[in-house]
Amino acid sequence: MIFARNQQSAMFNSDDVFKRKSEFGGSIEVICGSMFSGKTEELIRRLRRAQIAKLSVEIFKPKTDTRFDQNAVVSHNANSIQSTAVDTSSSILLLGSQVQVVGIDEAQFFDDELPNVCTMLANKGVRVIVAGLDMDFKGNPFGPIPAIMAIAESITKVYAVCVKCGNPALYSYRLVPDDETILLGEKESYEPRCRVCYYGSN
């Protein structure tokens, strides 16, 4: 298992290794980090490469994520790829078991069955690529992401830039007074911060 500061590790290139599905079977990859760190951008990049390789690809996101486009996964840089919005992780198993590559965005919003779904897909030979927040705004592990990280072959942690000091940011600092764990929002509601600036403001 490789923990990479950058989007690709020099020791481990997931695109080159996992595209050889016939040799290695299925796999689980996780792309995680704070808000505005480029998680969705990296997810889209990997899925587009799979499409270029003429692999069958399906992309899923939770129906609760209504910020951009109900029928597409959209990055903060406005790159997008068509997707299917689903209510539960079991729907992903139902709709994604007949393809070669499954992408899952905003995985932190899914139910606790998502790790089992990822395992079942991978055991069927599917390359599963999961992107999501690894911590909520309180700095606690978020949803099913930690459990998926534990069973993944590859983990890529991406970082935003701290708006206070410019250092790598791994926390999503909430700007609005709301204690709900799930609060959809963008730059009006959150900003990326490093450890020092995050805890210095709490």
- Kindly report the pTM of this predicted structure: 0.78
- What are the structural domain ranges in the chain? 3-160
Q: Greatest CA separation found in the chain?
A: 51
CATH class in words for 3-160 = alpha beta
Q: Is the dihedral angle over the CA atoms 180, 182, 185, 191 positive or is it negative?
A: positive
Per residue in 51-73, pLDDT tens?
999 999 999 999 876 555 555 45
Element (H, E) at 119: helix 114-123
With a CB cutoff of 8 Å and minimum separation 6, the contacts of 29 are: 14, 18, 46, 127, 128, 129, 130, 152, 153, 154, 155, 156
pLDDT at 201 (0 to 100)? 66
Report the chain's terminal Cα–Cα distance, integer Å: 33
Give the catalytic positions in this structure: 106
- Interval 149-172 mean pLDDT: 96
Cβ 109 vs Cβ 143: under 8 Å: yes
